[in-house]
A and B are shown apart, each in its own frame.
Chain A
């Protein structure tokens, strides 16, 4: 069964460093998303991506964040100059459009 895959499963980084979280969406899907979940809190929308551009972003998704689809399969989230409060689970999701969305297992980011 097709699935969304995310790497790494766990990333530890020092405050101020840059991290890149990687996602491989389901191959025929057209819409891609990043969500964040701080431990014990709700799943928060970060950004949606369609047709090689950002279609919507939340207030959380400021200049510190960027997304890219560098090739036909990967979808990345870059976080520059990480802060302690960026520590969270980051989930990638994809959908064909007008259907359900499927989520990856997440990358746990720990900023120390």
Chain B
């Protein structure tokens, strides 16, 4: 079983829609959960960082972690064309090892 599973998409939504991006993971040692945004041929850019279970909100973005079901979500409200990118979930172990999902490709249509 892969450490991190993520639906690669592609996902296409109209501008203003609420977007839900999800990952599942298998390693119970993961305690820190990051979401990165990656534009084509650029480095991953950190969006959100959460520790353990719960929600964290930052502007239009909300990260949600459910450790009991090993499920990670990122919600984007009022999606904009500039949100079009690949979104990567990246859980981390206490030993500072990061594991990336395959990334979900998102297109927001004006």
Q: Which residues of A contact B (CB under 8 A)?
A: 4, 6, 31, 33, 35, 42-45, 48, 50, 55-56, 89, 91, 93, 95, 97-106, 108
Contact = CB atoms under 8 A, between A and B. Distances in A.
Contacts, number: 58
Interface residues of B, number: 24
Give the dominant DSSP class at A's interface.
strand
A111 B38 CA distance: 24
Give the dominant DSSP class at B's interface.
loop
Contacts of A101: 34, 46, 90, 92, 98
B1 interface: no
15 contacts: A33-B98, A42-B102, A43-B38, A43-B88, A44-B100, A45-B99, A48-B97, A56-B95, A89-B41, A98-B94, A101-B34, A101-B98, A103-B36, A103-B43, A104-B43
